[in-house]
Amino acid sequence: MSVFEKFKHGLTKTRDFVAAQFNRLAAEFGHFDDDMLDELEMTLIQADCGITASMESIDAIREHIRNTGDDSHAGVIGALYETLSSMLTERKLTLERGKLTIYLMVGVNGTGKTTTSAKLAQRAKREQYRVMMAAADTFRAAAIDQLKVWGERTQTAVIAHDMGSDPAAVVFDAIQSAKARGTELLIVDTAGRLHTKKNLMDELAKIRRVIDREAPDAKLETLLVIDATTGQNGIIQARAFNDSVALTGIVITKLDGNAKGGVAIAVARETGLPLVLAGLGEGADDLQDFDRELFLKAILPEY
Amino acid sequence: MALFENLSSRLGRIADAMRGKSRVTEKDIKNMMREIRLALLEADVNYRVVKELTDEIGEKALGAEVLESLTPGQQVVKIVHESLIHILGEEEKLAVSPTGFTVFMLYGLQGTGKTTAAAKLGLHLKERGKRPMLVSVDVHRPAAQEQLRVLAEQAGVERYINPEEKSAAVIAQQGIERAKYMMCDTLIVDTAGRMTVDDELMRELKEVDDVVKPDERLLIVDAMIGQEAVAIAEAFDRQIGLDGFIMTKLDGDARGGAALSIRRMTGKPIKMVGTGEKLRDLEVFHPDRLASRILGMGDVLTLIEKASDAFDEKQAQKTMDRLKANTFTMQDMLEQLEQIQDMGSMKEMISMIPGMGQRMGNLEVDERGLIRTRAIIQSMTVRERENPKLLNASRRRRIAAGSGMTVQDVNRVVRQYDDMLKLMKQFGMLGGKKGRRKRLPFGSGFGF
């Protein structure tokens, strides 16, 4: 399957949903008037794109119609595509041979940090990088075991302490070990935490400080993992994690599920952070670089 | 427009604009309905539900004396709040099977917190005199069964796992046999999650269902879920049949609008809510509180309950007694501090105060002040705590070194103690014969 097909496949439900709404509107009216635009706005909101992003998109379409007089199906989708596209930024994660890169995976509980870490390890392994994982989730029962199982499956070294130990200490050891072994990618899997818990956010900031101090030359990517089913709270999450550890990118997981994934747009619009990865399925190959164009093509009808 | 503004302030703004006008027009009402719609959508209430709700509320608002009221904004908020409570329904109890062996089965997508909810439910039932057993039939996620085992141990609840077995139905059957052998009266079945509601998942769940014949089929829903909540709940309800749901992660700041949508669209009740990372953090669901939360209007009742939970009455009485006897010591001050800390983080508490809610998101509360004060007192000897007059310069230097603070910090704590003593003496005198006042006289001098 090509990357586009993967996106398309993962987002089939969203695409069907948006396209169906569009086609229904187009069939009923043939061109777009105010009532239809209101409905279109609701379609975007239903895809979890968020109120601000949805309203802005509709305003842009209104503007387009006013300026060009083009209220056709294709014209409206084109304008919508342009607006949504301007809200999203993408960035590719890169590794450098012979140099240490660290991925710090953060997020609220249950978004898929451990699974994403494992998939990232597998991907880098396949490209012949020297990879290591650090089990810095010392809170959730059996999280360490889960990562170790993945470590065995992907033949990746896992640095772990006991449950309940200080995650910053795990990270410290992992960095020393990574330096000694000439590791090129160290993936730090942290415990899920609600962004409202100050002590847990402080703990994360401490991990970040340890990384900055112990591996000042390493390239650090601080990645927020967001579940595609998340609603508007995703925006608040992104802001809070950004404040605590200075994010460099967003990973959106479970895009193949029921969710329409509009939260990616909402978060990108509100924070300006780039989207770096998209989880499009349960298989290891289904973690892909986020592609703005493919993402939008996969959710909007053709025009 | 500020994002995540609560409904009161949204409507307040419109009401302000209306003030001074001789009549409130239908357009004003329409504006208000738009604000309500936005507030509910921001709370992740499903769009269809929002539409129905605003239509209903609009009618009620026109019918009621909103237009004549001096505070139309507040009137509308009241109508909305009442409508939400009405939809959310009553508190509902968990099922108990007449056969004496009750089976709970927990479903949900990946990462919603099924395993944690299972363990919390186990502890909840155990504390109410049941003998529950936990069984995990998750044969997919690595170490899922191990997670259940660890959590069950923490909760002190029986459990059965079989990581070698590949069939969920077989583990379920073994779980039942084990539970009966161990004389348990409740079985809690934790199932595998999926990213999506697919046929394969449903088939596996139905197989387990046939084996255990659950009395209570509960869907676990993450409070942070967006618009898709209804579709997911409907899919599970259609294919398996749900009896209710448990909403998890309500200790975050998600509004939890999904609860409203699911209740409305499936008609199934919310049975419990997860409110923290500890196993004890599973609570009975209160419709009025969730309604306030969805509207971003704080959660006063929870706040009050938390406060009364944390304040041990006996402790308070003891403090009063010591105070009257003029023997209030540093040790007492330390105990009071610990009680305040038990109430949870200050930020969490503040967020529950109506009107403070989302807008305080960026507020930095210095909780370290409390921790520092504690560290200083803990660095004192028992004698010093009993009799702070002993604290001469040399002792103060030692305490500063011991707690990692400066002598100035120590002086500050001693001064706080003196201030408190003075304040409390006044209180004590004022309290006079009544003497039983529960209010704790902690002052403003803690440096937070």
How far, in Å, CA of B13 to CA of B1, rounded? 11
**With an 8 Å Cβ cutoff, are A196 and B347 in contact?**
yes
Which two tokens mark A61? 């379409």
Highest mean pLDDT range out of A204-218, B45-59, B222-236, B283-297?
A: A204-218
The verdict on A235 touching B (C-beta cutoff 8 Å) is yes
Q: What is the CA radius of gyration of chain B?
A: 27
Using alpha carbons only, give the angle B185, B189, B191 rounded to the nearest 5 degrees: 180
Residue of A9, A232, A253 to mutate for B, most B C-beta atoms under 10 A = A232
Q: Is the dihedral of CA A235, A239, A240, A241 positive or negative?
A: positive
Residue (of B215, B214, B177, B183) closest to B96 by Cα position: B215
Lowest-confidence segment of B267-281, B306-320, B369-383 by average pLDDT:
B306-320
Q: How far apart are CA B352 and CA A281, in angstroms?
A: 38
**In Å, what is the CA distance from B378 to each residue of B288, B318, B405?**
42, 20, 12
> Is residue A59 predicted with pLDDT exceeding 70?
yes
CB nearest A141 (choices: B42, B44, B150)? B150
Instruction: Report the relative pairing of strands A185-190 and A219-227 from DSSP bridges.
Output: unpaired
Judged by CB atoms closer than 8 Å, whether chains meet at A257 and B255 is answered as no
Question: Measured over all CA atoms, what is the biggest interatomic distance in chain B, rounded to whole angstroms?
Answer: 76
* B249: chain A residues, CB-CB within 8 Å: 108-110, 194
Would you mind telling me the total number of residues written for chain B in this entry? Answer: 448
Å between B151 CA and nearest CA of chain A: 7
- Per-residue pLDDT, B302: 54
Torsion sign (Cα): A274, A194, B190, A117: positive
Tell me the shortest Cα–Cα distance from A217 to chain B, in angstroms.
Answer: 32
| Angle value at C-alpha B315, between B314 and B317, nearest 5 degrees | 65
Query: For A186-195, what is the mean pLDDT?
Result: 96
pTM: 0.77
A194 interfaces chain B, CB cutoff of 8 Å: yes
The predicted structure's pLDDT at residue B133: 97
B326 Cβ contact partners less than 8 Å away, ≥ 6 residues apart: none
Render pLDDT for A81-126 as a digit per residue (tens, 0 to 9): 999 999 999 999 999 999 999 999 999 999 999 999 999 999 999 9
pLDDT in tens, B64-84: 666 566 566 677 777 888 889
- Average pLDDT of the segment spanning A138-155: 92
Is residue B135 over pLDDT 50? yes
Bridge-based pairing of strands B132-136 and B244-248 is: unpaired
pLDDT band at A286 (very low <50, low <70, confident <90, very high): confident
Higher pLDDT, residue B259 or B10 = B259
CA proximity to B252, closest of A181, A62, A195: A195
User: Is a pLDDT exceeding 60 seen at residue B431?
Assistant: no
Interface of A with B in 35-74 (CB under 8 A): 42, 45-48, 51-52
Strand partners, A185: A101, A131
Query: 3-state class of B207 per DSSP?
Result: helix
Q: Which two tokens stand for residue A131?
A: 């990879």
- Complex prediction ipTM: 0.84
Give the DSSP per-residue string, A277-298. EEE-SSSGGGEEE--HHHHHHH
* DSSP annotation of A6: H
Give the pLDDT band (50/70/90) at residue B298.
Answer: low
CB contact under 8 A, B146 and A263: no
Q: Are strands B270-274 and B282-284 parallel, antiparallel or unpaired?
A: antiparallel
Q: Output DSSP code: residue A139.
A: S
| Sequence-ordered strand ranges (E) for B38-144 | 102-107, 132-136
